[in-house]
Amino acid sequence: MYGSYKGVQMLAGLIFVLIITTLSCSEPASVGNNNGSLFIIGGGSRPAAMVERMISESGLDTGGYAVILPMSSSVPDSAVIWASEQFLEQGMDRIAGFNFQPGEPAPQSWLDSLVNASLIYISGGDQNRFMEIAYGGPVMESIHRAYENGSVIAGTSAGAAVMSEKMITGDELRYPEYRSTYPVIESENLDLAPGLGLLKTAIIDQHFVWRSRHNRLITAVLEHPELPGIGIDESTALIVRGNVAEVVGESQVLVYRNPGASRRVDGKKLGGTDLRLDIYLPGDEFMIE
């Protein structure tokens, strides 16, 4: 196990994960003063073509390295191995895995490596667990610095949810027992928490079509009409560069908008009119605004 700052213990002999805490000596991935891009994956399997696109988007096909952050996962050592396999299958083995620990100082060499990474990949699991470690501290700051330097910040499932400034936690305020989707559209039920804030102009939801999470995202746009709600299905990703988004993968991305800020309440039930739904297919581009 690598629960403290010792890097990744090898769990499978055929999987090579490169852990070098002096990666900070490498040249940072940079495109001047422009931000990098976000590669937001809705969970599920990741097709080879999607991983190839992630590698090319981050420039890993020509150099640099990737850092995997497994803190969302309850089995972070395995999460690093599983995430590494998708890159190793594409011939990319310059990979580090840093499992930052709650309540412990973050090693400076790890933080420096985050800042200079070409790709930062956030695993699935529980987005609340990840943010408890990252929020407001040096890990979050280093991720932002990497993004500002031109790095690609990627995440799947919980790693997708953390991209928003307003993050869906997965919980319900009115109903404490966890349900994978909302069976109701009610006021004061949506539980939001601060995310990484890499995407300030939308709220992200994931596993969207597969788990039929429409009620949750409809609730979000009724209660936060200033933000579109973006639902990314499994085996599908949204690449965000500035305010332009591109769909890649195998399924769809659904976007709910509430342009008239419509919201009515009858008891607990929420209502609204003239909401807008767009369903985007692989290869489609749209503006996030």
| pLDDT tens digits along 11-22 | 333 333 444 433
Q: What is the pLDDT of residue 19?
A: 44
CA 204 to chain centre: 9
Can you list the residues of the chain whose pLDDT is less than 50?
A: 1-33
For residues 158 and 170, give the distance between their C-alpha atoms in angstroms, rounded to a whole number. 9
Amino acid found at 76: P
> Is-catalytic flag, 157?
yes
Residue 246's DSSP bridge partners are 239, 285
Extract the tokens encoding 171: 């919980």
Is 180 one of the catalytic residues? no
C-alpha closest to that of 272 among 257, 288, 287, 255: 257
Give the per-residue pLDDT at 182: 95
Do residues 123 and 153 lie in contact, with contact meaning Cβ atoms separated by under 8 Å? no
Would the CA dihedral through 182, 187, 191, 193 be positive or negative?
positive
| Catalytic status, residue 72 | no
* 127 three-class SS: helix
Q: What is the DSSP string of 55-92?
A: HHHHTTTTS--EEEE-TTSSSHHHHHHHHHHHHHTTT-
Choosing from 57, 172, 186, 234, the catalytic residue is 234
Beta bridge partners of 39: 154, 239
pLDDT tens readout for residues 186-218: 999 999 999 999 999 999 999 999 999 999 999
Q: Whole-angstrom Cα distance, residue 232 to residue 115?
A: 27
Separation of alpha carbons 163 and 121, rounded Å: 12
Query: What is the reported pLDDT for 289?
Result: 81
Set out the domains of the chain in order of their start, with CATH numbers: 23-287 (3.40.50.880)
What are the CB-based long-range contacts (under 8 Å, 24+) for 268-275? 268/174, 268/184, 268/186, 268/187, 268/188, 268/189, 269/184, 269/185, 269/186, 269/187, 270/185, 270/186, 270/187, 270/218, 270/219, 270/222, 270/223, 271/222, 272/218, 272/222, 275/218, 275/221, 275/222
**pLDDT score at 34:** 58
Q: Which of 118, 187, 207, 214 is catalytic?
A: 207
Type of residue found at 180:
S
Confidence at residue 270, expressed as pLDDT on a 0 to 100 scale: 98
Quick check: 126 and 74 in contact, CB under 8 A?
yes
pLDDT of residue 12: 32
Annotated active-site residue in 157, 164, 187, 251? 157
